[in-house]
Structure 1
């Protein structure tokens, strides 16, 4: 059986261990090699996030990832460091990584849109850890991708390091407390600094609907790109298991 490798470009050290949940479940079927990209200031501010996601940081990481791990696809595993560039900017960012790696590449923000399309979602609620001005940029980004955000819950957490300390009960409360807009079909939780992968079933039970989290959609999109469109049906990805993008 061939092992699929999804390379992760991950900023800092807040929740990279979240991916160990999937590594242990999938054993030899999937590798998730990870390279830490450099961070200037750990801050959920627009200027800091634009610096976090600048090309120089990503391309150095992509070159190291390819040289050391030879992945089949590359993901910029950061939501705010991609959507802060806007729809066109995030697409250019992914294209630059793809060119540097000579591999298919995307980012967490783009993965959220692809995952929403795969599930046929048109109207969602967002439960964001960020300050409201940053969270609103995620809402705008999703809108460009054809996904309407009916309600936004913003929790004003200023750093990825603080988000990484949130435990199961805190994350469950964040999801359960998200405002439910009329006709909402899912809850989106956009922060790769947040641990979620061990609790996806619990989060969906708390929400009473599908929940898409940043680390979940990142890995799913990487698998989809590596497979040429349809990711393998693997346990541990919640409602995304076995789905393909609906165009």
Structure 2
């Protein structure tokens, strides 16, 4: 199976995706393509601009071969367009490539649905206003954010350099007794080696951006990604709830 990921910035979190795919199945082929950033100087406008469906389909033409499934592997560049906008991104990619397509933001919704989770806490690396945009995106899909922390951590280059201690600190700060799961929405973070320990520390599912993106892509392809030591989402314990689609 060949997984194609559209990724916003070269040489950030690709190695984390590669490690997760290798641990799930060494036979998974993984390729990346990079949409072009626009001219917007404002960060919020920039992430909306790069997520324009026409930019994503142009970038998808750079895959060396058409993948079996594709995902727009960026949290903020998909949720800042709202639920309808995220669905439009996926539909554009499916229409252009003829394969199942998703994004990290839609992957979060699919994972929460599979785990039957409706109340979450956000361990956000973003500014508080952008964290609120993600909470609003989740609310559109009926998911309630009961607690959120915002690290306001800056660039994806800085985030890619975060070590385990900083990731654990952020996740633990977001922990809340009313949350059924904790979300870490940032694909530049290297979280694959930490998935089991994160859940041990927080005592509940912890859904990282890398993990949900890969899980959702494999699920949409019709595979059942099950592996020990990668957290609840990959444990197989939740079972298959319903077929996924690029418009859900």
Matches within 5 A, 1:182-221: 182-221=177-216
How far apart, in 1, do the equivalents of 2:131 and 2:99 lie? 30
Alpha carbons 1:43, 1:158 under 8 Å: kept: no
Q: Is the 1:108–1:218 Cα contact (8 Å) retained in structure 2?
A: yes
In terms of mean alpha carbon deviation, does 53-62 or 143-152 score higher? 53-62
Which structure 2 segments of 5+ residues have no match?
Answer: 244-248
Write the distance in 2 (CA, Å) between the matches of 1:183 and 1:42. 39
Counterpart CA distance in 2 for 1:190 and 1:145 is 16
Structure 1: 4+ residue segments shifted above 6 A: 41-44
What's the TM-score once normalised by structure 2's chain length? 0.89
Quote how far apart the aligned CAs of 1:7 are: 1.1
CA distance in 2 between partners of 1:153 and 1:173 (Å): 11
1:17 and 2:15 are equivalent in the alignment: yes
Deviation at 1:235, TM superposition (A): 4.4
Residue 226 of structure 2 corresponds to which residue in structure 1?
A: 233
For 1:207 and 1:62, how far apart are their aligned partners in 2?
A: 37
> What is the SS of the residue equivalent to 2:180?
coil
- How many corresponding residue pairs? 239
How far does residue 30 in structure 1 lie from its aligned partner after superposition? 1.8
RMSD: 2.0
Aligned to 2:101: 105
Partner SS, residue 64 of structure 1: coil
TM-score between both structures, scaled by the size of structure 1? 0.90
Aligned residue runs from structure 1 range 17-96, under 5 A? 17-40=15-38, 45-65=43-63, 68-96=64-92
Gap change, CA 1:154 and 1:226, over 3 Å in 2: same
Mapping of residues 138-153 of structure 1, within 5 Å: 138-153=134-149
Counterparts of 1:76 and 1:244 in 2: how far apart (Å)?
23
1:170 & 1:224 partners in 2: Cα distance? 30
